[in-house]
Structure 1
Amino acid sequence: MQISTRFTIAVHIITCIDYFKDTLPVTSSFLAGSVGVNPVIIRGIMSKLKEAGIIAISQGKSGMTLARPLTEITFYDVYKVTDCVNETGLFHMHENPNPNCPVGRNIQMAMEGKLQDIQAVMEQKMKETTIADVAVDIREKIKQAG
């Protein structure tokens, strides 16, 4: 199991917009340089963030801005926006266990509820963690580096 890098890229984008808001215009090219990916990837994620009302994008010199305060943007918001999980859930069972094997016949039933519980706990923790938490840590690291 692995959550797509779109999640961490989106958090990076949001944090950059906040950090550089008063000093530089934040554009997709600028963000691509910071994240280390192609601007096309940045623009795709930005589009999803804009649709979700997390960022605002303006053509011209101002670039991007946050549509909501960092304290109101949770990891869960970003996780949902970046399509890290679909309606079937985060975990996907292998599709062809042997029905003639007692383990194969029962593995899905035995694991399904446990995996749903694990996902629910993770998502609850994501709802409690904001992008502001990340921004605080980044600013502290920058301050320590002098």
Structure 2
Amino acid sequence: MGARSSRFAVALHALAIIARRGGEPASSEWIAESVGTNPVVIRRALAPLREAGLITSVAGAAGGFLLAKPAEAIGLNQVWSAVEPEGFACHGGAEDCPVAASLPPILAEIGQDMDRAIEVSLRAWRLSDVTRRLCEEMTAKGAC
């Protein structure tokens, strides 16, 4: 099986950190430390969320990222759409292969079905659901 994208997981991790800050900006350094990556990677990962209007950024030494709206108003389908806009991807193939020539429309149909299923599933989740569940998990571990 091929490698899966981690963009959604990283975006959700970052959003959970931002939400838990309670209105205090979360720096890319702070988020990167939690995610286990470089601050530049975080800034690139969060750019689509800013473009989608889910977060804002504050410049300066005390700056960072803030939610642009309450966690209850952020659907995980919005996060997915922002960071995984391509959805299911098809691949190329040998020009002279009849399978390669005939498979793309079938894969496109399968991809549309998958995209609809993901949209429906994620529409049922809010960022606030994630942060509530995180707090429950963290409380059980004595960290919330």
Class of the TM-score when normalised by the shorter of the 2 chains:
0.7 to 0.9
Provide the residue aligned with 2:134 in structure 1: 138
Q: CA deviation at 1:114?
A: 3.5
Q: Deviations over 1:42-94 (max 9, x none)?
A: 11122222222111211242532211111211222111211x242xx413145
Question: Aligned pair in 2 of structure 1 residues 98, 32: CA closer, same or farther (>3 Å)?
Answer: same
Counterpart CA distance in 1 for 2:100 and 2:58 is 54
How far is 1:106 from its partner? 4.9
Q: Report what 1:67 is aligned to.
A: 68
Pairwise CA distance, 1:139: 0.3
Distance 1:50 1:106, change over 3 A: closer
C-alpha distance in 2, partners of 1:132/1:27?
Answer: 20
Structure 2: how far apart are the matches of 1:57 and 1:113?
A: 38
TM-score in terms of structure 2 length: 0.80
State how far apart, in whole Å, the 1-side matches of 2:25 and 2:139 are.
Answer: 22
Counterpart CA distance in 1 for 2:6 and 2:112 is 22
- In the alignment, the residues of structure 2 paired with residue 40 and residue 105 of structure 1 have an alpha-carbon distance, to the nearest angstrom, of 40
Asked whether the equivalents of residues 93 and 100 of structure 2 are also in contact (C-alpha less than 8 Å), the reply is no
Query: Structure 2 CA distance, aligned partners of 1:135 and 1:57?
Result: 20
CA distance in 1 between counterparts of 2:112 and 2:51 reads: 28
Paired residues of 2:90 and 2:104 also in contact (CA < 8 A): no
SS of equivalent residue, structure 1 residue 64: strand
> 1:134 is paired with a residue of what secondary structure?
helix
Runs of 4+ in 1 over 3 A off after TM superposition: 103-112
Q: Which moved more, 1:70-79 or 1:109-118?
A: 109-118
TM-score, with structure 1 as normaliser: 0.79
Structure with the greater alpha carbon radius of gyration: 1
Aligned residue runs from structure 1 range 1-146, under 5 A: 3-21=4-22, 25-60=25-60, 61-82=62-83, 84-86=84-86, 89-96=87-94, 98-99=97-98, 106-146=102-142
- Root mean square deviation, CA, Å: 2.5
Identity of aligned residues (%): 28
Structure 1: where are the runs of 5+ without partners?
Answer: none
Task: Sort the Cα spacing of 1:136 and 1:104 in 2 relative to 1 into closer, same or farther, 3 A.
Answer: same
